[in-house]
Structures are given as C-alpha cells and as structure tokens.
Amino acid sequence: MSQRMCVLAAAAALGAVAPRFLPAQAPAAAVPPAEQQIAAAVAPAPLEMRAGATVLGYGGDGRLTTLRQGSNALVCLASDPAADRFHVACYHRSLEPFMARGRALRLQGVRGAAVDSARSAEIAAGTLAMPSHPAVLYSLTGPPGSFDAATGAVRGARSLYVVYIPFATAETTGLSPTPVGSAPWIMFPGTPKAHIMFTPDM
C-alpha cells in the first residue's frame, strides 16, 4: 500500500471514530439490551480494564445514557444501532469533554470539518479542555454482525489504537508525520487532536 493510501485509510479510520460517536437518539426498537451493548462496547479495551470501564450507550427510549458507571479511567461507547456498521470505542476519561462536545455539536447540526474547527476555537479560548498528558483511544470497526451476542466475540472488525498528544509535532516527538511501514506515526501534528497512530493487522 502506498503512503498516500495509508494516510487516506488512517484518516478514514479516525473519522470513523470521532464523528460517529453515538448520535443523541436512535430508533428505540433497534436498541439492544444494555448487557449486550456493554459487552460489545468494552471489546476494544485491554482485558484487565473492561470490567471497570464506564459505558455509554442507549436506553430504552433510544437516547444516549450511562449504561454503567465505572471505576477506572476508561469510557467506552456502544455501537450506534442506527448505523450501517459495527463501531465501538474506549478512551481515557480526560478526552470526554472533547468527545462530548463533538457529539453536542453534531446534535446541533454541525458537520464535517466544522466540528473540529469549533472545538479548536473553544480550546484556544480556554472554554474546552484537552488533556495535558497522553491519552489513549481503542476502537473496533467492522460490518454489521461483527459482534456475536451469544459468545461475546468480535469477528471481522478492524482495530485502531490512538494516543492523543495535543499540539505535539514531529519535532517534539521524533515521530514521522506520514506512515512508514508498520511504525507508529503522528497524525494532525500541531493541532489539539494530534495523536500517535497505530494500525495493527487483524
């Protein structure tokens, strides 16, 4: 795969993470039981962190809610029942203001790059907080049916690991700003959403 294709694939994968984080409401009839949503939502997280993660998903009315209050540093998001794919993600709780603001803006009808422009302006103004330390995000994205509710297994989904390091650059980290083989690299350097990309094979 060429470097250009790697960049486009990584950008698409990350776009699948941030913009798609749980709309405010889904059709109530499509909402799986809370236990099923929780089991799927924590699947990207390290095994030892799954039981203690806070889980956001859908209530019986189809609205975003806290399905489980956790005891550790991770927040996990259930898959959108209205989406045409399976997508779950877990991230460090210090990223929740950034993620929650994105969800709120999309609920207001803001779309695409305008979401990040709005959040960047708020970060610059000091009204939206970003972590001052590295913060991880794990996700799994695949076709519908990737999660087997009977066994709790996820099959055919692609893993993506990201470590947010806001405003970091190639110069401050030594990371390449473009993909180089299977090595980690820095995406969106110098911006609030600068992060180290890891794209493991599955």
Separation of alpha carbons 130 and 164, rounded Å? 10
Residue 72 and residue 47: Cα distance in Å, rounded?
A: 13
- Proportion of the chain above pLDDT 90, given as a percent: 70
Please report, as a single letter, which amino acid is at residue 108: Q
Q: Tell me the three state secondary structure of residue 14.
A: helix
| Domain ranges, ordered by start, for the chain | 3-163
pLDDT above 80 (res 188): yes
Say how far apart CA 157 and CA 40 lie, in whole Å: 12
| Cβ neighbours of residue 131 closer than 8 Å, sequence gap 6 or more | 92, 94, 95, 164, 166
> Which residues are 135's β-sheet partners?
164
pLDDT in tens, 132-144: 999 999 999 999 9
180/155 Cα distance (integer angstroms): 27
Note the pLDDT of residue 62: 76
The reported pLDDT for the residue numbered 100 is: 95
Task: Note the pLDDT of residue 24.
Answer: 46
